Amino acid sequence: MANVSIKFNNKEFLLSCEDGQEEHLEELLIHINQKFNDLKNNLGNLGENKLLLITAVKIMDEYYETKKRVDQKKNELKDLSNKFRELKSLIYDYRDKKEEEVKKLNANHSNFKNEIEANHKKYEQLIDEAADEISNFVEKTKLENISQ
């Protein structure tokens, strides 16, 4: 344990604290001393005990107001975190649905392409057959004209 000598309300005090916490204790006491002196200047000399009590109440009031704000910010952060998780889930769902739609479109495209190729072959076959029939017809007509 370390000892720290501090001055409060023009009186010297020796306080103990954990090793390494000396500077922190001195900072705290500077703030307490400042609050005490501000109250003493604003309210006059009401007596040391009453000023110490009012100082303690003011410090606790500041503490609880700060704690309320911190708790409020924690709740806001928790709400934002929940909304972020929900949004993230929606994004993944949207992505999965879009990937599924792309797969369906690719399958449909492939089927359509195959159908076009099959129809193209049938069309060429029909043209070849029609050409053959026309050639046969022309050939028959020539033969009939020659034989007449």
Spans of all domains in the chain = 1-45
pLDDT tier at 142 (50, 70, 90 boundaries)? confident
Q: Residue 74 has what pLDDT?
A: 98
pLDDT tier at 143 (50, 70, 90 boundaries)? confident
Tell me the one-letter amino acid at 33: N
Q: How far apart are CA 4 and CA 14, in angstroms?
A: 6
Query: What digits encode the pLDDT tens for the residues 98-136?
Result: 999 999 999 999 999 999 999 999 999 999 999 999 999
Tell me the pTM. 0.56
Ranges assigned E (strand) in the chain: 2-8, 11-17
Q: Cβ contacts of residue 7 below 8 Å, gap of 6+?
A: 13, 33
Q: Are 5 and 12 in contact (CB under 8 A)?
A: yes
Query: What digits encode the pLDDT tens for the residues 15-65?
Result: 999 999 999 999 999 999 999 999 999 998 789 899 999 999 999 999 999
Q: Residue 57 has what pLDDT?
A: 96
Q: How far apart are CA 99 and CA 107, in angstroms?
A: 12
DSSP, res 18:
-
Tell me the CATH class for 1-45: alpha beta
Query: Could you give phi then psi for residue 61, rounded to 5 degrees?
Result: -60, -45
Q: How far apart are CA 19 and CA 7, in angstroms?
A: 20
Q: Residue 147 has what pLDDT?
A: 73
